[in-house]
Amino acid sequence: MMTVNYGLFDYEWTDFTNQIMYGNRSFVEHPVLDILKDIINEKSIIIEAKTELFRARIDKNREIYTENCLYSKYLHETKAECIQDEKRREYIDANYPKDKVEKIKNRIDNGFIGFSKEDSFIAPATNSNRCNPKYIRYLYTAEDFSTAVAEVKPQTQDFVSVAKVVLDEDYKIVDLYEDFSNFKEMLDSIINNMSDFAFKTEKNEDYYRKDYFMKRLAMSFSTPVNSEDGYIITQYISQLSQHMKYDGIRFRSSLHEKGKNITLFKDKCRCISSCLVQIKNIAVSHDYLKFNGINNDYNKFQMWNDIIPNMKEKISNRVK
């Protein structure tokens, strides 16, 4: 029988992430790194060729929507019987430039109602993101349509182009998709010094240490961040995985429940079609946060909101 202390594991993880963020990212030597390499190899899966994934982009300037409307009007206008009329032809030539109409026609005829094949793929130059450092190009996809849309964080009334991506060969990826909801509650307690979660067990301490780091790793990829600095750890793990000859990483979506994201490191894939959707509404859910010794419940707040005005009135009457 031995004692396992999750507080110790948290200290080891924090020490490792501090070294990556504030020390040396290029030549890291740390005991946690060896465990993470084992986890990466243990979480290896193959996504077969011909698998279809989804990639979304917001039509920020409504460029595609405007083009599609123009082409739709053009088709309607040219079907009119009076097209043979000279003034009518002059009107069409003036309002529907041939080169622009031809470009839109080719895009739509090839199955791209949203962004074109080229514009639906990897951006030529990218900013820092969850998996890629600045200027390094990765393709961010999702396993289903709705997750792809949620991941671009659209607002209501936004137009979003969703492309279908097909893999041309097998991809060996690291599968970090995990359900860590119960683990997160325990972690919050450790961070808030509410408990070290030490317990006795017959199993080897290394078993729990690896499981702890696995869940911390999965959480790193699936937790929203407020700045690019929050991506440093996930970028490092992505680069490490690529160096270890993996083709991508799968992780849990932070924006769509049970959604699965797949970031592809290599471009042995292609966009085969795209569509355009408009966002009608955005659903929001919430949980009451738990604090040691504090009752964080709206109903309790509401009760005090009802009581306080009465107290103020009584105090005011006494003063009079």
- Whether 137 maps to a domain, the answer reads yes
pTM (two decimals) = 0.79
Reported confidence tier of residue 225, pLDDT bands at 50, 70, 90: confident
| Same-domain pairing of 171 and 73 | no
What angle do the packed helices 63-78 and 86-95 form, to 10 degrees? 170
| Same-domain pairing of 127 and 50 | yes
Which tokens in the block code for residue 47? 């996504």
Number of separate domains in the chain: 2
Q: What is the pLDDT of residues 16-65, one digit of tens each?
A: 888 887 766 676 788 889 999 999 999 999 999 999 999 999 999 899 99
- Whether 304 maps to a domain, the answer reads no
Percent of the chain residues topping a pLDDT of 70:
78
Q: Are the C-beta atoms of residues 47 and 143 closer than 8 Å to each other? A: no
Q: What is the pLDDT of residues 269-301, one digit of tens each?
A: 999 999 999 999 988 777 777 666 666 665 555
pLDDT at 84: 62
| Same-domain pairing of 103 and 212 | no
- Whether 307 maps to a domain, the answer reads no
- For residues 14 and 11, what is the distance between their CA atoms, to the nearest angstrom? 5
Q: What is the pLDDT of residues 119-168, one digit of tens each?
A: 999 877 678 899 998 888 999 999 999 999 999 999 999 999 999 999 99
pLDDT at 101: 94
| Same-domain pairing of 105 and 217 | no
- For residues 146 and 155, what is the distance between their CA atoms, to the nearest angstrom? 14
Q: Are the C-beta atoms of residues 59 and 160 closer than 8 Å to each other? A: yes
Reported confidence tier of residue 179, pLDDT bands at 50, 70, 90: confident
Reported confidence tier of residue 178, pLDDT bands at 50, 70, 90: confident
Q: Listing from the earlier edge strand, what are the strands of the sheet with 248-252?
A: 44-47, 171-175, 248-252, 260-264, 139-142, 52-58, 159-167, 269-278
Q: Are the C-beta atoms of residues 259 and 142 closer than 8 Å to each other? A: yes
- For residues 267 and 256, what is the distance between their CA atoms, to the nearest angstrom? 25
- Whether 291 maps to a domain, the answer reads no
- For residues 219 and 204, what is the distance between their CA atoms, to the nearest angstrom? 24
- What is the span of the domain harbouring residue 213? 2-59+116-278
| Same-domain pairing of 29 and 78 | no
pLDDT at 53: 98
- Whether 32 maps to a domain, the answer reads yes
Residue 9 pLDDT > 60: yes
What are the C-alpha distances in Å from 1 to residues 59, 200, 203, 212?
Answer: 60, 6, 8, 20
Instruction: Give the mean model confidence (pLDDT) for residues 259-273.
Output: 95
- Whether 243 maps to a domain, the answer reads yes
- For residues 320 and 315, what is the distance between their CA atoms, to the nearest angstrom? 9
pLDDT at 303: 47
pLDDT at 206: 84
- Whether 217 maps to a domain, the answer reads yes
